[in-house]
Structure 1
Amino acid sequence: MKTLLLKKEEVSRLISMREVIGTVEEAYKAFNSNQVEQPDYIGIHLPPPRGEIDFKLGYYKANEVISMKASSGGFNDNPTVYGVPSGMGTILLFDAKSCALICVMDGSLITGLRTGAAGAVSVKALARKNSRKVTSIGTGNQARMQIRAINEVMNIEEIHAWDNFPDTLAKYKTDIEGEFGIPVIMARSKKEAVEQADILITTTRGTGSLVEAEWVKPGTHIVAIGTDQQGKQELDPEIFRHAKIVNDSTGQCIEKGETWHPLNKKIITQNDIHGEIGEILLGNKPGRENDEEITIFDSTGMAIQDNTTAEKIYSNALDNGVGAFFEFC
């Protein structure tokens, strides 16, 4: 059986952000409709100065595709020492009927796209309808991807941004204003940035509390992206005490996500978790119920997001004759 090979440049032109938002919504609904088999993902932390590599595996009954993704991040010496990016990804797709390998594609873009889209899906479900100001704590690639996705689902009037590195922050301002024409205000402190937020995005590789509870105003929607492994943290656990907590996968979030921290400190119990985003999208649980609620979307990332997004790219590639086929024998 022939296998389709899709390079990074090909993947980038085979799907739009609006399509990815749709595939991520499909993934969340499928997860909460007993259509998904998704083992716990495996993460390996390598000795400093290296980062980590994650392996995510998922099967979606509706499309009969099994996906397997390997993604790495935090290998900051890679560009200078090895001439490769600091983070990379590869996705394998298998036909679930035969388990034949049908596609190998670059996965580095998919991780960024579907993670950005996850934030946008949560904004649709949980943010106040009159939200206009976005605050970004962290201004790297994923912070940009969040803006690209959220800009598809709401009118962003201004962005307040903070980063530990002034040069990175300044480049973010230049890039975002150039791409979208949305004014970016470079905050002098995290507190100053957070206090402005209707929607607060955290996309760092933090290992301690970056956002304090007293900074977060009523009605804020928080998109917590950076914590997907034990040891990472971005939010003061006290924020969770009176917030509506929504997970992508509660099983993952209580073990590896931001939700672990307030549970560990006994600020909340599992009964205080409102539910999973798929339950809200299916109408089984309510989303935002008033304009004063603080809502938190804790996203650890799921294999089913990779599955639905990669399958759409594969389908688009077949429809448009993109990519090269190869055989192992």
Structure 2
Amino acid sequence: MKTLLLKKEEVSRLICMREVIGTVEEAYRAFSGNQVVQPGYIGIHLPPPGGEIDFKLGYCKSNEIISMKASSGGFINNPESHGVPSGMGTILLFDARSCALICVMEGSLITGLRTGASGAVSVKVLARKNAKSITSIGTGNQARMQIRAIKEIMDVEVIHAWDSNPDTLSKYKTDIETELGIPVVMADSKKEAVKQADILITTTRGKGSLVEADWVKPGTHIVAIGTDQQGKQELDPELFRNAKIVNDSIEQCIEKGETWHPLNSNIITKDDIHGEIGEILLGRKPGRENDQEITIFDSTGMAVQDNTTSTKIYQNAIESQTGTFFEFFE
């Protein structure tokens, strides 16, 4: 069996954001439909000046593909010392019927794409139908990816943005207005920005509460992206007291997501979590039920999202005859 090699530039040409939104929906349905085997990820922290590398493994029964993603970050000396980026990603795909390696692809783009798409999927089922205004707390690469994805499924009239770095905020405004044609209002404060939100996106590396409960107006949908491990936090735990709480994976979110904080503070119990987004997509639980609900989507990210997205890229590569084949067992 031949193995396909896909380079970064090839991967970027083989999938669009609308397709990624579809693959992420597929991943959530499969996960909540018990079609996924997904062990906890393994991380290795290297001594300074090194960073860390994580390995995420997933098997999706519906496509009979096993994926493994290795992603590194924090190797700040890489560009000058080794001529490679400070963070990299690689994805391996195995045919689950034989465990033969069928594809090796550059994986750094996929993480950003599928994380952005996750926010858009949550907007489809949890945001008000008349939502027009987005607030972005944090204006880095993932903040841009969220807007690119959400723009695929709704009309965005204006973005209110805040960042602790004024230069980063200014560049975000220029980039978004140039690329997407959406006006960006640079907020003087987090509170000012949050109060304008129909949809609130948080994509920071926060270590404490950035968004206070009394800033959030009724009917707001919150896409909480930044908290994916213990020690990170973006939202006031009090926000969860009267909100509809939806997780990508309840097991992950109560351990290392934003949901951990109100649980740990005894503001909510596990029974107060409405469910997983896959359950809503499968029709087992309702999404938004009225225009006054505050909804929170806590996304910690899952290997099955990498699985379904990279599988679609592989399929597109085969159809378009993109990439280079090689054989291990000649």
Q: TM-score, normalised by structure 1?
A: 0.96
Which residue identity is paired with 2:311?
A: E
Deviations 1:200-236 (A, max 9, x none): 1011111111111111111110000011111111111
Are 1:152 and 2:168 matched, yes or no?
no
In structure 2, do the counterparts of structure 1 residues 243 and 79 end up closer, same or farther at CA, with 3 Å as the change threshold? farther
RMSD: 1.4
Is 142-151 or 36-45 further displaced after alignment? 36-45
Q: Is the partner of 1:271 in helix, strand or coil?
A: helix
Q: Which residue number corresponds to residue 28 of structure 2?
A: 28
Q: Calculate percent identity across the aligned residue pairs.
A: 82
Q: Which residue number corresponds to residue 311 of structure 2?
A: 311
Q: Which residue number corresponds to residue 191 of structure 2?
A: 191
Q: Is the partner of 2:66 in helix, strand or coil?
A: strand
Alignment of 1:106-117 (within 5 A): 106-117=106-117
> Which segments of 5 or more consecutive residues in structure 2 lack a partner in the other structure?
none
Q: Which residue number corresponds to residue 11 of structure 1?
A: 11
Residue 85 of structure 1 deviates from its aligned partner by: 2.7
Q: Which residue number corresponds to residue 72 of structure 1?
A: 72
Q: Is the partner of 1:105 in helix, strand or coil?
A: strand
Find the aligned partners of 1:47 and 1:297 in 2 and give their Cα distance. 35
In structure 2, do the counterparts of structure 1 residues 47 and 24 end up closer, same or farther at CA, with 3 Å as the change threshold? same
The alignment of Structure 1 onto Structure 2 pairs a total of residues equal to 329
Is 259-268 or 45-54 further displaced after alignment? 45-54
Residue 86 of structure 1 deviates from its aligned partner by: 3.3
Deviations 1:56-88 (A, max 9, x none): 111111111000111233445544554433332
Find the aligned partners of 1:173 and 1:80 in 2 and give their Cα distance. 30
Residue 328 of structure 1 deviates from its aligned partner by: 3.0
Q: Which runs of 4+ in 1 moved over 6 A?
A: none
Q: Is the partner of 1:135 in helix, strand or coil?
A: strand
Find the aligned partners of 2:29 and 2:289 in 1 and give their Cα distance. 20
Q: Which residue number corresponds to residue 203 of structure 1?
A: 203
In structure 2, do the counterparts of structure 1 residues 51 and 189 end up closer, same or farther at CA, with 3 Å as the change threshold? farther
Are 1:38 and 2:15 matched, yes or no?
no
Q: Which residue number corresponds to residue 88 of structure 1?
A: 88
Q: Which residue number corresponds to residue 215 of structure 1?
A: 215
In structure 2, do the counterparts of structure 1 residues 15 and 262 end up closer, same or farther at CA, with 3 Å as the change threshold? same
Find the aligned partners of 2:75 and 2:292 in 1 and give their Cα distance. 41
In structure 2, do the counterparts of structure 1 residues 213 and 50 end up closer, same or farther at CA, with 3 Å as the change threshold? farther
Alignment of 1:1-329 (within 5 A): 1-46=1-46, 51-329=51-329
In structure 2, do the counterparts of structure 1 residues 75 and 193 end up closer, same or farther at CA, with 3 Å as the change threshold? farther
Deviations 1:123-154 (A, max 9, x none): 00000011000011111110000000000011
The question of whether the paired residues in 2 share the 8 Å contact of 1:199 and 1:220 is answered with yes
In structure 2, do the counterparts of structure 1 residues 300 and 87 end up closer, same or farther at CA, with 3 Å as the change threshold? same
Find the aligned partners of 2:255 and 2:49 in 1 and give their Cα distance. 25
Which residue identity is paired with 2:244?
A: K
Residue 327 of structure 1 deviates from its aligned partner by: 2.3
Q: TM-score, normalised by structure 2?
A: 0.96
The question of whether the paired residues in 2 share the 8 Å contact of 1:43 and 1:229 is answered with no
In structure 2, do the counterparts of structure 1 residues 165 and 66 end up closer, same or farther at CA, with 3 Å as the change threshold? same
Find the aligned partners of 1:135 and 1:44 in 2 and give their Cα distance. 35
Find the aligned partners of 1:46 and 1:266 in 2 and give their Cα distance. 36
Find the aligned partners of 1:215 and 1:48 in 2 and give their Cα distance. 40
Which residue identity is paired with 2:232?
A: K
Q: Is the partner of 2:103 in helix, strand or coil?
A: strand
